[in-house]
Amino acid sequence: MSAARQPSSRSTNDARPNRSGEAAECAGFGSPGGRAYPLRVHADELEENPVPTKSGPAGRVLTTGLMLFALFFGAGNLIFPPALGASAGSRLVPVVLGFLATGVLMPLVGVIAVSTSGEGITGIAGRVGPRFGVLMPLAVNLSIGPLYAVPRVATVSYELATRPVLALLGLPTGRPALAVHVLVFFAVSVLLALRPSRMADRVGGWLTPALLVLIAVLCTVVLIGMPVQGRTAVGEYAARPFATGLTRGYMTMDMLAATVFGIVVMTSLRSQGITTRRSIMRATCWSGIIAALLLAVVYVGLALLGTRAVGDAGDGTALLRSAAASSLGTAGVVVFAAIVLLACLTTSVGLLSAWGQFSNDLWPRVSFTREVLAAALVSLVLANLGLAAILTVVSPLTLLLYPITITLVLVTLVDVVAPGHLRAAYRWGVVCSTALGLVSALSDLGWTAPSRLLARTGLWNDQTGWILPTAVFAVVGLVIDVVAGRWSMPVEQGGRGDPAVHRP
């Protein structure tokens, strides 16, 4: 696909892969065991050569890794680490290690897992069942897309970046200013998202380096020029530092984003001329590793910044503002605003592009461009009207979806090494994680009776209580698969007593 074109509307008899296998497909993704999952390719990508790039394979992977880092690094990822560093006190090392384990390694695992399916989370969820394979990815893409996450990054960027700069300049900061900010924000986001073939170059090649330079400047100036505040760890930070870090990293919920951004990475790599199954999987893994390393370095730097910043230890935004103003003066306000704007913009671009690709595949009669524009319009309206009402629905929905997503990703990693294919492990694990995720969601909505009942066991909390029971259920399902012969039976033959199986 050339730089001047984007995925177009497709009819039912175009080059889109179909169930009978008559359509054109790129080399499938799969495990070393020989399973291949078809990668759907837009018709105009097949008609034209990939976008030429001046860099070699290593340069393409580096640029894509930089892009993936920027897609992950939103405003929330910027705010969490300073609060963590300020609250940890002398327990900083175990807290940060726990945070990195779940806030960095889990998203990396998610990206690697979805690379085994040419359809990202859709391909993985389809292994549970056809209806689940549509509804669950749709819910994920809506909740971290146009219904919440995209409009949220627009409003957050206004509150943390544009509004302080306007106040500094003595300009009005009322609702009209918000409307103008949101309009410009989404106009830029759409322009970048409409060309997935150029996203790695524009985001990874330009916006990410700018973001990293600004963060490096802020962290370096603070670490050199400001003393450690010497706070004392209290509460859970003092009693269970590593476990607290694990929980804080878990609550970034970047695993959901990983399942969405995985397909964006694969599409970008394919558009740069990397097309074979092994090369795309390898490039996706290395891109994920680059993004994970950058996230880890930035998180550590921001956590150390938090140990020196003055202010409420639990308020990451206030800590960052205080550190920027104390170390850079008035220029610190501008630097902090630029960091927030770049972090929010790159995340918005990635989410809009991911929604466009997912929805275009789900409803192929509607073009990619129209899907992106529709998502941006919905996000624009929600950002101007406020997110309080939609948050009451999206927050419990996220608590329901997150355990399911993690379960799917982890079972997928086990499935990758199996010569055959698993089925019961997916279904048993998903059934348990869905049931317990529903308990957490109901608790968030205000009905706490099921949660209080489970809490009597001494093993339950609404954030991580689902993990142990789901692991047990998944192992039971795995044993069933082994007994049924699905672990060792090649996909083409199906499991023992099963008809031939072909994954979507």
Decide: 219 and 304 in contact? Cβ < 8 Å.
yes
Residue linked to tokens 């090369």 = 279
What confidence tens digit (pLDDT) does each residue in 298-344 have?
999 999 999 999 999 989 999 999 999 999 999 999 999 999 999 99
Count CB neighbours of 227 within 10 A. 7
pTM (2 decimals)?
Answer: 0.84
What confidence tens digit (pLDDT) does each residue in 96-116 have?
999 999 999 999 999 999 887
Residue linked to tokens 């986001």 = 189
Question: What residue segments make up the domains of the chain, in order of their start?
Answer: 26-386, 400-504
What confidence tens digit (pLDDT) does each residue in 137-186 have?
999 999 999 999 999 999 999 999 999 999 999 999 989 999 999 999 99
Mean pLDDT of 36-44: 40
- Single out the residue of 143, 185, 142, 141 nearest to residue 160, CA to CA: 185
Helix (H) or strand (E) holding 27: strand 26-29
Count CB neighbours of 465 within 10 A. 19
- Is 41 a residue whose pLDDT tops 90? no
Mean pLDDT of 276-297: 93
b/e per residue 16-53 (b: at least 16 CB within 10 A): bbeeeeebebbbebbbeeebbbbbbbbbbbeeeebbeb
Helix (H) or strand (E) holding 37: strand 37-39
The two tokens of residue 111 are 């990206």
Residue linked to tokens 């078809």 = 38
* Band (463; pLDDT cuts 50, 70, 90): confident
Residue 8: per-residue pLDDT = 39
Residue linked to tokens 């837009």 = 42
Residue 84: per-residue pLDDT = 95
- Say how far apart CA 306 and CA 80 lie, in whole Å: 10
Mean pLDDT of 197-209: 91
Tell whether domain 26-386 is in CATH 1.20.1740.10.
Answer: yes
Mean pLDDT of 285-291: 95
**Exposed (0-12), middle (13-18) or buried (19+): which is 67, by Cβ within 10 Å?**
buried
H-only helix segments in 226-276: 236-239, 241-250, 254-271
Residue 370: per-residue pLDDT = 96
The two tokens of residue 369 are 């461009």
